[in-house]
Structure 1
Amino acid sequence: MPLSGSAGQTAATYALAAAAYRDDELIKIKDADNEWHQSTVTLPRSWAKIFRPRFGEAFSRAVIDRTLGAGRKPLIQSFGIEPQVVVEHSLAAHRIRRERDNWLSAVTVLCGILFLPGFVLWLLVFTLRVNVSRREDKRAGAMGTALLLAMGALALLCLFKLPFHGFWSWYARAAIVMPVVGWFWAKRICERTANDLRDRWSSLLSGGGIGAKIPEAVPGSPGDAAEQVRKELARLGAEQRSNSVFYAGPKGILGMGTRWGSWQLAEELVSAEPGKEFHPFRSWDVITAIQGGLGMLERTPINTGGFTKPTITHWVVTPVGEKAKEVSRPSGSDVDAYTVRTHAVQDICNKQQFGSGDRHYLGVQWTLWDGHLVITMMITVTVLHETLRIEVTGHALGPVHPLFNEKPATKEKEVQKAFRFWETRKVKLPLIDPDEVVRLAARAPLTWYPPLLNWLGGSLALPEPFGLRHAWADQPWRHRFMADDALRAATPVLRVVHAAALKTLRDNGVNVEKFGSRSSVLSGAVQDASPRKADLYDA
């Protein structure tokens, strides 16, 4: 049996990628909103419900526009997943639907536009039926069905007897029949595409890792649209590797989750030899020693598995407002592909410890539970006057909301048995019902101009500042083992940090007696660590 808790990121990545293939109602995404990040669903106009998008349609379109659109805002890192995989699957799902819409558009032209009077009449009947049947009153559904049957009976009557003759009589008959023929043709197209999308949805959540085919990302010549997609995917990867993050008050560090714990070691710097000064040192010297100690965390004297290999990064933390809707990446000669160069990070560590400006943190991070849990411990060292302060804070990003792990359900309903009416049985419903065929056929020609389609049917606006991972992260404290992993990481990290810092102070001739006493107190206190909202100050 393989050991669990590896650093894989496939489960969380595939859970979000599978959302691009979903075919349920868009409003369900509101269930995945967390305390700090809220999606905005624009509902369709009352008379245009037939143009409403489904979950996967709106999700994939929103993700593509937000991550690959021209002039887009910067993105937040998605720790615990591979955001490029999610974007690629969104592109693949959009391409599959686009091919379906191309076929449906052709059907609409041949069987609808050429016979416009009958097409408009049938469309009005279906629109009225949808609006009536969606009311809570059960009789409304029967009225909608009766309306459709009445229209069918009238159409049948018109086939045999019309008040005029000649060309227009045959055209009127064709205008009644051809939209129905087109509906059957469109139904076959919709069913084929729906089965393909559902197979991909199910495969991703089963760990199959079905590949995303995105030929539109392979440029054929310089300057074409595919070249722009390729550049934006490369930009997405550079942002993911950036060492610049943003602190948004009670939201914590965006992408890492809220701060659940904080421990400070602050004492006076006094020479170990009376009458003699200690050797001067900088905050960077202490941080470098701590970094070396953290690199040994995966080693243990007892063969019990222990820590997996962590990721250790020097972070530049930029403060933004709690209600900020966008962030700004650093730029200039000290930045290379959104990553702040080492000498600039070192200057921030040594000099920017008081007042405005960015701050430096050393982070040690574990990605566990196949990407569903991201544990980050952040360490900062400051020296003000004769006081050295070492602060260790804990951040935890919980699992992707369970909504994204839902597999496609078989469409069925319970009905009473014919003879044993006190018993019920389940009846399998068709994957694509008549209303869905009409909805897709009506939307298809408008997919060439998304603004009009969004105005009519509604759309999805992603929470800002946007990052694929933290936007739909749940709290880890509801999962006992995830909570245990986050809490257990605090004690060894704190002890390693203190041991490395004390050794550096001792080597530079600093009296570490008070530091050692304070460290012992914190070492005892951290054993009873419990999650709390450390960024909500009771002031």
Structure 2
Amino acid sequence: MADGGFDFSPGAQVPLFGAAGQTAATSALSSAAYRDSPVADLLKADSEWHKSTVKAPKLSLFEPNLGEAFARAVQVRMLGGARKALIQSFGTEPQPVVEHCLAANRIRKERDVKLTFVMGVFGLLFLPGLLLWLAAFQLRRSLAGAQSKRAGALGTTVLVAAGGLAVLFLIKLPFTGFWSIYLRAMVIAPVIGWVWARQICETTAKDLRERWEGLLTGGAVGAKIPEAVPQNPNETSAERLRQGLARLTAEQRSNLVFYAGPKGILGMGTRWGSWHLAEELVPADPGKEINPFRSWDVIRAIHDQLRLLERGPLHTGGFPTPSVNHWVVAPIGEGSTEVGRPEDSNTDAFQIKGHEIQRICNEQQFGSGNRHYLGVQFVLWDGQLVITLMVTVTVLHHTLRVEVTGHALGPVHSLFTTKPEAKKKEVSKSVKFWETKEVALPLVEPLEVVRLAARAPLTWFPPILDYLGGKVVLPEPFGLRHAWAAKPWRHRFMADDALRAATPVLRVVHQAAIRVLAENGVNTENFGTRSTFLSGAVQGATPSKADVYDA
């Protein structure tokens, strides 16, 4: 039912942008949709395990910038009709990010409508001259893009020479009458169109940069997407978009996650620590048997105690309210490029039902199949740090094993947190030449105007534009958060928070488990001794690659 026409939302809703203190990471990722830096910069932000690629353009004149490529790639991947399953973005809200991508594409679409009109009036009617100018700019762009500075200088020389020949062409022509007028207009009209196009591009660039800066400075920047609100019952495209956003939110709330070997749990980060409490189940009274109990009984007691983590004997701050959830963890290969979410009677809107979770907890502890974990998750630093501690209980023969593993997802890459820099240069004053002053430069350079004007008519045909200009291919399996997450261990306080969380959680888990064992007639002496040892060992915890076995 999750992929049909089911309406996940009860009605008109206000998007919860950056709920639960997740504004920083969400705003940082959203700002990428408005950026005008080179698209290759996105490759620098890739995490260790997830690499995106940029398809090279056939003609560099049609190459997108970072914002154009990012917004289109995210929109197609998150809302496309044939899209694959997504990985949850812990620490962020993906819907606002997608909405900002839609809003950025809408702003650029409005600009491209105006540029297409300019190209039609000053380009299509004077097509030979337009093609000559575009060829000169393409040659200049190709040569300047080379690593050799001489090639860049040569490109400038070629463009200047082309302009000089155009001037000579205007002065003296071998034709008279109508053709002489048309040939002169053929050279002049694209230049006039370029001046008009520059004003259009400058206005749009200013708007995009204001939104980019507003998101990173905490301004109230909303994503305006009126095309997502159906105006009448027959407007199927708006209804499809609205349902796509609702499906995205429902998938974000899914309680099924995927373990990809050394990559860890996708969306939660790699496993950096693991602590095991495994002892034999021996009756406390040799003359009696142990009261029968199941793994779910232990997990339920641990769950109740973990929900009280924010309470403490002293008024000194401490834990914020954690998120405690039951997770079903599915194993996938390290190199898997897609994941699958079940759609059967045991699931409802991407959520695995409670009775199925309980069955997995009690029965699927050995061999193939999914496993059950109880997770306690802290979203800190405005969503920049996600600490997840996963608890699993298994009973094999006479041995009960309680395992606690630590996962940490670091902040989004610094690329997404950089603010726009004003374009200016320092020049000498005209009178007091020994002093300098800063002069503001246009936001859009001359070559950038040509690129935007050349791309504008093709934006109506995205596949053709992707073929000519290239595009970004997002890493799979894709999730907004983990694809561009940095390691938390480079930030001293973030590393401290991750390490400090392990000790109290481990102790709460052990106390709850031992209490259940004692209530059911189990001798807890060995469990208590082992728990004391682990409580001392966890205090000296250091992050490691626990999923990389040196065998």
Q: CA deviation at 1:508?
A: 0.6
Matched, 1:457 2:469: yes
- Find 2:365's aligned residue among 353, 366, 376: 353
Distance 1:425 1:452 in 2: 45
Aligned to 2:393, the other structure's residue is in SS state strand
- Find 1:186's aligned residue among 190, 193, 197: 197
TM-score using structure 2 length: 0.94
Aligned to 1:108, the other structure's residue is in SS state helix
Q: Which moved more, 1:494-503 or 1:212-221?
A: 212-221
Whether the 8 Å CA contact 1:7–1:368 is kept in 2: the answer is no
> What's 2:389 paired with?
377
Distance 1:206 1:174 in 2: 48
Matched, 1:99 2:102: no
Q: CA deviation at 1:421?
A: 11
Alignment of 1:516-531 (within 5 A): 516-531=528-543
The letter for the 2-side match of 1:117 is P
Q: CA deviation at 1:127?
A: 1.0
> What's 1:171 paired with?
182
Q: CA deviation at 1:161?
A: 2.4
Alignment of 1:319-338 (within 5 A): 319-338=331-350
Aligned to 1:26, the other structure's residue is in SS state coil
- Find 1:113's aligned residue among 116, 121, 124: 124
Whether the 8 Å CA contact 1:129–1:145 is kept in 2: the answer is yes
Q: Which moved more, 1:205-214 or 1:419-428?
A: 419-428
Alignment of 1:66-465 (within 5 A): 66-220=77-231, 221-222=233-234, 224-413=236-425, 428-465=440-477
- Find 1:514's aligned residue among 508, 512, 526: 526
Whether the 8 Å CA contact 1:249–1:322 is kept in 2: the answer is yes
Q: CA deviation at 1:33?
A: 1.0
Deviations 1:453-493 (A, max 9, x none): 11111110111000000000000000000000000000000
Whether the 8 Å CA contact 1:7–1:308 is kept in 2: the answer is no
Q: CA deviation at 1:450?
A: 1.4
> What's 1:3 paired with?
none
> What's 2:4 paired with?
none
Deviations 1:49-100 (A, max 9, x none): 1111000000000000000001100000000001000000000000000111
Aligned to 2:390, the other structure's residue is in SS state strand
Q: Percent identity?
A: 66
- Find 1:17's aligned residue among 2, 16, 30: 30
The letter for the 1-side match of 2:193 is G
Whether the 8 Å CA contact 2:139–2:155 is kept in 1: the answer is yes
Aligned to 1:367, the other structure's residue is in SS state strand
Distance 2:272 2:251 in 1: 26
| Unaligned residue ranges in structure 2 (runs of 5+) | 1-18
The letter for the 1-side match of 2:463 is P
Aligned to 2:40, the other structure's residue is in SS state helix
Q: CA deviation at 1:526?
A: 0.6
| Unaligned residue ranges in structure 1 (runs of 5+) | 1-5
Distance 1:268 1:134 in 2: 68
Matched, 1:493 2:482: no
Q: CA deviation at 1:412?
A: 3.8
> What's 2:13 paired with?
none
Whether the 8 Å CA contact 2:47–2:482 is kept in 1: the answer is no
Q: CA deviation at 1:399?
A: 0.4
Q: CA deviation at 1:179?
A: 0.6
Q: CA deviation at 1:149?
A: 2.5
Q: Which moved more, 1:133-142 or 1:316-325?
A: 133-142
Q: Which moved more, 1:91-100 or 1:216-225?
A: 216-225
Root-mean-square deviation (CA, aligned residues, Å) is 1.8
- Find 2:42's aligned residue among 29, 41, 57: 29
Deviations 1:420-477 (A, max 9, x none): 9999976543211110010001111111111111111111011100000000000000
- How many residues are aligned here? 532
Deviations 1:162-212 (A, max 9, x none): 111121111111111111111001001100000000000000000113000
Distance 2:435 2:490 in 1: 39
Whether the 8 Å CA contact 1:62–1:462 is kept in 2: the answer is yes
Distance 1:204 1:51 in 2: 28
Distance 1:417 1:132 in 2: 34
The letter for the 2-side match of 1:131 is S
Distance 1:324 1:425 in 2: 56
Deviations 1:317-359 (A, max 9, x none): 0000000000000221010000000000000000000000000
The letter for the 2-side match of 1:136 is Q
The letter for the 2-side match of 1:19 is A
Aligned to 2:293, the other structure's residue is in SS state coil
TM-score using structure 1 length: 0.96
Distance 1:482 1:109 in 2: 55
Deviations 1:112-155 (A, max 9, x none): 01111111111111111112222333333333333222222322
Distance 1:134 1:320 in 2: 42
Aligned to 1:112, the other structure's residue is in SS state helix
Matched, 1:50 2:84: no
